[in-house]
């Protein structure tokens, strides 16, 4: 799963972690992205109550496509939290939201969204891939939903200049 957007090299992820693999979801066609989101939403159905969700939130940039597709599929407003931590999107009052992103690694982006929406309640984070540690997952005050678990793949972790 996701081999069509797997790129090998020497990467520093947005989490700050090093990896020999990067998942570039911009390589997906719109149809492929929609099919993956559809799979994720079907997988969530038995364990997630969509009636409680008032809006979808996403960090800029990586999560915008899956968040838009989720927002469209579930007929929920979409709020994008920019890099400075400002929410952008339709006017909304406080409420419950689901964070949608492409990849969860350290929960840094998800926690930036939570910080930007202090008057609202995060019901969880959903993504194509979870690459983080279960230790990081267990520290969160919300559930994580994801299609695939991919281990951190690196031979160069922590080695400067590699």
Q: Is residue 59 part of a domain?
A: yes
Q: Is residue 61 part of a domain?
A: yes
Residues 116-129 have pLDDT tens digits of 999 999 999 999 99
Q: Is the pLDDT of residue 156 over 80?
A: no
Q: Is residue 156 part of a domain?
A: no
Q: How far is CA 21 from the centre of its chain?
A: 17
Domain CATH code at residue 47: 3.40.50.2020
Residues 35-85 have pLDDT tens digits of 999 999 999 999 999 999 999 999 998 899 999 999 999 999 999 999 899
Q: What are the phi and psi torsion angles at 15 (to 5°)? A: -75, -10
Query: How many C-beta atoms surround the C-beta of residue 20 within 10 A?
Result: 16
pLDDT at 112: 94
d(CA 156, CA 60): 27
Q: What percent of the chain has pLDDT over 70?
A: 91
pLDDT at 159: 30
129: containing domain: 3-149
The number of folded domains in the chain is 1
Q: Is residue 160 part of a domain?
A: no
């Amino acid at each position: 799963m996701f081999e069509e957007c797997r790129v090998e090299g020497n990467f520093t992820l947005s989490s700050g972690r090093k990896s020999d693999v990067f998942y570039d979801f911009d390589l997906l066609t719109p149809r492929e992205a929609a099919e993956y989101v559809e799979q994720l939403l079907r997988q969530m159905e038995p364990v997630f109550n969509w009636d409680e969700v008032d809006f979808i939130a996403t960090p800029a940039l990586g999560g915008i496509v899956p968040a838009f597709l989720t927002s469209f599929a579930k007929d929920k407003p979409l709020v994008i939290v920019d890099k400075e931590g400002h929410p952008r999107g339709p006017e909304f009052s406080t409420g419950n939201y689901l964070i949608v992103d492409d990849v969860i690694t350290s929960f840094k982006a998800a926690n930036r969204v939570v910080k930007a929406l202090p008057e609202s309640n995060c019901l969880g984070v959903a993504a194509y891939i979870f690459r983080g540690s279960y230790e990081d997952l267990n520290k969160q005050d919300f559930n994580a939903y994801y299609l695939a678990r991919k281990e951190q793949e690196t031979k160069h972790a922590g080695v400067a200049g590699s």
